Structure 1
Amino acid sequence: MMLRGQMMDMPLLISDLLTHAENYHGDSEIVSRTVEGPIHRYTYRDAAKRARQLANALKDLQVAMGDRVGTLAWNGYRHYEIYYAVSGSGSVCHTVNPRLFAEQISYIINHAEDQVLFFELSFLPQVEQIVGELKTVRHFVLMTDRANMPRETSIPNLICYEDLVNSHSDQLAWPQFDENTASSLCYTSGTTGNPKGVMYSHRSTVLHAFASSLPDSLDISAQSAVMPVVPMFHVNGWGLPYSCTMNGAKLVLPGPKMDGVNLYELIEEEGVTMAAGVPTIWMMLLQHCQRNHLKIHPLKRVIIGGSAAPESMVDQLAEHGAEVRQLWGMTELSPCGTTSTPKFKHNGCNTATLRHLQGKQGRPIYGVQIRIVDDEGQPLPHDGKAFGNLQVKGPWVLSQYFGRELDDNHTADGWFNTGDVVNIDADGYMKITDRTKDVIKSGGEWISSIELENIMVGHPAVQEAAAIGVVHPKWDERPLMVVVLKEGASATRDELIGFFEGKIAKWWTPDDVAFVDELPHTATGKLQKLKLREMFKDYQW
């Protein structure tokens, strides 16, 4: 006979994160740079009150349990309130990426069947462009105050956010329900085909917040001042609006201004100790500091995800006193999967050894299992040499895409195919060598485009680089480097190809270099290799 434990049975709910912050970190700050211009400051206590007001407003707008509520918004206090008001009410907070094409935005909102759409002033023209195509949206709410409402608009019955919030009471007891209830929805950026929806639950979100807060993960505490530069419309800002609230960290939200000048100002003035974002963001910050002979003072840790951080960037941030942690994840993983934190045995290791570790995507945080398999699905050894297709499992890993019955992304025993090609060493550190669709196959052997790119951006004249495979008459494919030079810098083809000497096997060395003004990126800042391959499909060696 099974003996049951005698602990209280309480659901893990997103609303409890905010209630905890209100009760025990009520005076900790949330600082936002607003679309309207000024810096806005308030506390978790203020945010909790306004989230309850907004939840009462949603009830008056006839938003029911399970209804989807869309947002087109930057990282700011109003977006933060929507996160908690919507999910806390039992509805689904659907963050839409405003950087997508109008057709994709319309598709996503219609596919999700959003009932209400909240959007910032920045995106008023976009919404006006597609308003006639949105089939399910009953209410449009502009996230601003009365003074900044437009005099004329094609959007019918446009609601002012501040009027909506201020016209409702903050008296509300957050409803209690099953922790497996849907909480939020995010669509993949969709480099091919239509974006796919990933539906998170209250349970998965709270568990993800616990695990991502751990010292070996993002290391968030009440002593932290955290700046999520990663957008809140992209995988819930890597979960930081939840993990920071859980721990009572000071939250610094950069709004629409994510350039080096404005980020530096916020870091210095608000005492930011940890920041998170893609490599492009830190490249802009470091270039601003270099041009103006500035030192970054409070920043202790930088979380880099989306793509690998080149070693030169790790070195530059270290000169400012900031440790780099690589984060690997996916929309389908909520998103945190691995972080590149050293172990006890690495204490006292030389810089080269530590840089080697930091160059990997890291080891799994608790809750995530990883393995590699060959093309036939057979497991491969974790010896740091064998590389194969990465598969994952865990309580915050996607089990099925929203609104799709067919599933070719999972194995029969429940593993999710990530599409990454990696190796894993005996300590569990994983290193991405490529995406399955981006790997370069030359003479039957694989070449890692990512490793070529990481080496190339270490050249002092190179701002950004991409390696693609181009059809070759003898070797099937050979690597071509597509390079963007830094402003005012110069470099020749031979100089850049010579830069690889001694760093990789000779046969990996790119055969040629193509110089371009810019590289194509997805809406989330990732290189669009598909577009590059299309651009250079007729390239002649």
Structure 2
Amino acid sequence: MRSTMQTTPLLLSRFLDYGATAYADSEVITWTADGPRRSTNAEVAADCKRLANALRSLGVTGDQRVGTFMWNNEEHLELYIGVPSMGAVLHTINIRLFPQQMIFTINHAEDYVVVVDNTLAEPFSKILAHAPTVKHVIVNGPVPEEVKAALAGDGAREVHDYRALLDAQPAEFEWPVLDENDGASMCYTSGTTGDPKGVVYSHRSNYLHTLQLAMPTALSLKQGDVVLTIVPLFHANSWGVAYAGFATGATLVLPDRFLQAAPLATMIEQLKVTNALAVPTIWNDLLHHLEAHPESDISTLKSAIVGGSACPPALMKAFQEKFDVTVYHGWGMTETSPLATVAVPPPGLEGQEYWDRRFMQGRLSMSVDARLVGPDGETLPNDGESVGEVEVRGPWITASYYNADAPEKFDDGWLRTGDVGKLTPDLFLTLTDRAKDVIKSGGEWISSVDLENQLMAHPAVREASVVGVPDEKWGERPLATVVLEEGSSVTTEELRDFLAERVARWQVPERWAFIAEVPKTSVGKFDKKVIRARYADGDLEVVEVGKPAS
């Protein structure tokens, strides 16, 4: 029997039209050097239609790729929703990649148009000579004539002003009826090993992902919420919040380039922010700023999502106990759109049992399946104890990369995440490490993440990163690199004693180095390959203390 249901395609233009009518007065707020710049959903939607007409006039008539090289601002959001709605494909270029990687992604995606913020136009102009597919550059804001000339490249490209281009167009556009499985947007992985890989999201996958994101077991977004979107729109599909904000009527606060702790604290206070999303390094910096400036008022902020890498438990507890802000873990990756889990504890839990669930990566989202695979390829039980590589599948999980072979990433319909962890019977995931970062010492595994979290619970430690380094006897042993709080001091012996009370003694590192800053990847994760390289090159002042317990 076939159903009697209509088969209305799941298209992003439906979110745009619904948000512009049901929530016409909800706002999109961009932070500027002069404070907030406000627009309503209705005004943003009208600009999306002007944008579609403008892009049509430049030759975007099908699924051409429209790139963005931008901060989080209203114009970037208009591109996020307007470009897919007209049938083209949005490509958000990661502005923090190396120039060679940016060039690779632009050429691989075959971007036809790129929209660039004026504050980023000068550095972007330097890579355009190596991007022959780009025929039009649209600049958001004024730039000097010499920068405009560099963007044009002796006539190789046409350069346009974003606002002038849109103002010349009507605010009426009929969104086409598309195949819901057509590409809507694309992001590239950060390319820590090899070239970045492209993930193409469909209208259907983004639509379903948005519905899940709004559920109480995820972000629980609704009209009246004021959401500070610190996570870059160019990172992992903006964690889905660009679409979810419009679909639910939540007000989106977009910080543009003002990502330091001081302006973020001001935004929270002035705009009465209720929810926020960012990576752990942002939350860590904000915590230190708030502690140093007790006059800051963030009392409206009730919940925060942290993703990108594991959040130290001490950071979660500090926000809860000092500011009554609940910091939730979320886990996913570019390949998973990215929402896979959120650590919203079951109701009724108290004390350590409650915190144990908060410290996990979270419960699997409905429609996302996961399994644990052991070193010999066997599927392990969801017993909360067995540890294996996490593989996932679902309607917003990629099944391949765009024009790139990577058979090692896919396993009979499952995506191999490269994360190692364990699952409880009620589907709460705990990640113990990345497969490439787990330390194999004497035939046993040591979680670098666990050691880092325990070290960052020490009051003198601001950041800590742990990597495995070669050891003649044990194969690998942990090297702990530590960044101290300003004005603090602690010895390696004291840190060893501190760790020995919290982990098995044989896991305690005997190699230590104090550093000024932990190197970060383009998306704010600890860049452990840089630490390993610095150790191999002898660039770290390593102190050896003690021997591992046998």
What TM-score do the two structures reach when normalised by structure 1?
0.96
Letter in 2 for 1:323: T
Distance across 1 between alignment mates of 2:291 and 2:406: 51
- Tell me the residue number matched to 2:47: 50
2:136 aligned residue (128, 135, 139): 139
Provide the residue aligned with 2:126 in structure 1. Answer: 129
Is the alpha carbon distance of 1:244 and 1:451 closer, same or farther for their aligned partners in structure 2, counting shifts above 3 Å?
A: same
CA-CA distance at 1:222 after TM superposition: 1.0
Partner of 1:401: 401
For residue 331 of structure 1, the aligned residue among 322, 334, 348 is 334
Rounded Cα–Cα distance in structure 2 between residues aligned with 1:353 and 1:93 = 43
Residue 165 of structure 2 corresponds to residue 155 of structure 1: no
Q: In the aligned structure 2, how far is the partner of 1:170 from the partner of 1:296?
A: 38
Alignment of 1:49-68 (within 5 A): 49-68=46-65
> What residue is the counterpart of 2:507 in the other structure?
508
Matched residue type, 1:234: H
Q: Percent identity, aligned pairs only? A: 40
Query: Offset at 1:236?
Result: 2.3
Pick the aligned partner of 1:116 from 113, 120, 128.
113
Task: Report the secondary structure of 1:172's partner residue.
Answer: coil
Aligned residues: 531
The aligned residue for residue 532 of structure 1 is: 531
Alignment pair present for 1:225 and 2:226: yes
Q: Following TM superposition, by how much is the alpha carbon of 1:235 offset from its aligned partner in structure 2, in angstroms?
A: 1.5
The alignment's TM-score, normalised by the length of structure 2, stands at 0.95
Alignment partners' CA distance in 2, 1:84 and 1:383: 41
Aligned to 2:89: 92
User: Could you tell me how far 1:287 is from its partner in structure 2?
Assistant: 0.8
Point out 4+ residue stretches in structure 1 off by more than 6 angstroms: none
CA distance in 1, matches of 2:104, 2:123: 14
Structure 1 counterpart of 2:281, which letter?
T
Secondary structure of the residue aligned to 2:50 is helix
Does 1:28 pair with 2:22?
A: no
| Paired residue type of 2:166 | V
CA offset digits 1:384-440 (Å, max 9, x no partner): 11101100000000111001245321112x011000010111221111111111010
Q: Distance in 1 between matches of 2:396 and 2:343?
A: 20
Residues 499-530 of structure 1, C-alpha deviation per residue, up to 9 Å, x if partnerless? 11221111111112200111211100011111
Contact 1:185/1:198, CA 8 A, preserved across alignment: yes
CA change 1:29–1:438 in 2 (3 A) is same
Residue deviations 1:203-248 (CA, integer Å, cap 9, x gap) = 0001000011100111111131111110001012100011111101
Q: CA deviation at 1:330?
A: 0.4
> What RMSD, in angstroms, separates the aligned Cα atoms of the two structures?
1.3
Q: 2:311 matched to which residue of 1?
A: 309
What's 1:419 paired with?
A: 418
- The one-letter amino acid of 1:58's match is L
Which segments of 5 or more consecutive residues in structure 1 lack a partner in the other structure?
none
Contact 1:340 1:362 in 2 (8 A): yes
* Worse overlay, 527-536 or 332-341: 527-536
Per-residue deviation, residues 275-324 of structure 1 (Å, max 9, x unmatched): 01101111111111101113421011010001111111111111211111
Q: Bigger CA drift: 495-504 or 65-74?
A: 495-504
Task: Map 1:24-423; keep pairs closer than 5 Å.
Answer: 24-34=22-32, 37-144=34-141, 148-153=142-147, 154-156=150-152, 157-293=158-294, 294-318=296-320, 319-344=322-347, 347-350=348-351, 352-412=352-412, 414-423=413-422
SS state of the match for residue 126, structure 2? helix
Q: In the aligned structure 2, how far is the partner of 1:361 from the partner of 1:457?
A: 18
Which structure 2 segments of 5+ residues have no match? Answer: 153-157, 545-550
CA distance in 1, matches of 2:345, 2:400: 33
Residues 58-95 of structure 1: CA deviation (Å, up to 9, x unaligned):
00000122111100111100000111221111110000
Change in 2 beyond 3 A, CA 1:370/1:406: closer
Residue 233 of structure 1 aligns to which amino acid in structure 2?
F
Query: How big is each residue's C-alpha offset from its partner over 1:93-114, in whole Å with a ceiling of 9 and x where there is no partner?
Result: 0000111111111111011000
Question: 2:548 corresponds to which residue?
Answer: none
Deviation readout 1:117-144 (Å, 9 max, x if unpaired): 1011121121221121111000011112
- 1:5 corresponds in structure 2 to 3
Q: By how many angstroms is 1:38 displaced?
A: 4.4
Aligned ranges 1:475-490 → 2 under 5 Å:
475-490=474-489
In the alignment, which residue of structure 2 is the partner of 1:18? 16
**How far apart are the structure 2 equivalents of 1:309 and 1:405?**
32
User: Could you report, residue by residue, the CA deviation over 1:438-493 in whole angstroms, capped at 9, with x for unpaired residues?
Assistant: 01011010000000000111111111111111111111111110011122221111
Question: What secondary structure is seen at the aligned counterpart in 2 of 1:452?
Answer: helix
Contact 2:269 2:297 in 1 (8 A): no
